[in-house]
Amino acid sequence: MSRESKPWFWKQRKSWYCTIRGERIPLGADRNEAFQAFHARMAEPVKPAPKPSDSPFVAALVDRFLDHVQKNLAPDTYVWYQSRLQCFVTRYPDLVLDEMKPFHVQEWIDDIDQSAGTKRNYARSIQRCLAWCEEMGHIERSPIGKFKKPGGGKRDKVISPAEYEKILSFVRNDGFPDDSARP
């Protein structure tokens, strides 16, 4: 006998989810809105079970990728991907793979008020996620495989001689400083 379906909070994602007929469904970060969304879903008529060929939710693919990263890569790598991919899933919680287009990624990064390098990293995170899903056979082809990421930008910060000396004061190895590089 299966359990009664009800919303549950996923701490790492900082968001509410429910599982209905074996499908994990994101409901949002706000508890009240999540319960409303859950009750709205439960009130919908039962649809026929999806066929294996039906397109998966992008959020479900992100979950698979993050599970892989958490189990196989460094904890900091997991945090890096999770923070960026959660933003994408929050923006497009009901997006299915067959409906995903490059403009989804472009609109998402255009709304991020950050540097060009940060926008590039956000785009890189979802592109890598779907590339992994393709490599593992979860999907046939990534719909954003040819998405052109923005350039990384340039860092033009030049440090002063005083800042350079301060940085060197933290170095314990006397052989580290390169005297030819001193301003």
Residue with tokens 């429910």: 18
**Rounded-to-integer distance, Cα 122 and Cα 80, Å:** 10
What pLDDT score does 5 carry?
A: 81
Q: What is the mean pLDDT of each run of 10 residues along the chain (183 residues)?
A: 77 89 86 91 73 78 96 96 96 93 95 91 96 95 92 81 88 66 53
**Predicted local confidence at residue 131, as pLDDT:** 96
Residue for token digits 């590339």?
A: 131
Q: Report pTM.
A: 0.59
Question: How far is it, in rounded angstroms, from Cα 24 to Cα 17?
Answer: 7
What does the block give as tokens for 4? 């009664």
95 exposure class (CB count in 10 Å sphere: 0-12, 13-18, 19+)? middle
Contacts 24+ apart (CB under 8 A), 96-103: 96/55, 96/56, 96/57, 96/58, 97/55, 97/56, 97/57, 97/58, 97/61, 97/139, 97/143, 98/55, 99/55, 100/58, 100/143, 100/144, 101/143, 101/144, 102/143, 102/144, 102/146, 102/147
Query: How high is the pLDDT of residue 179?
Result: 56
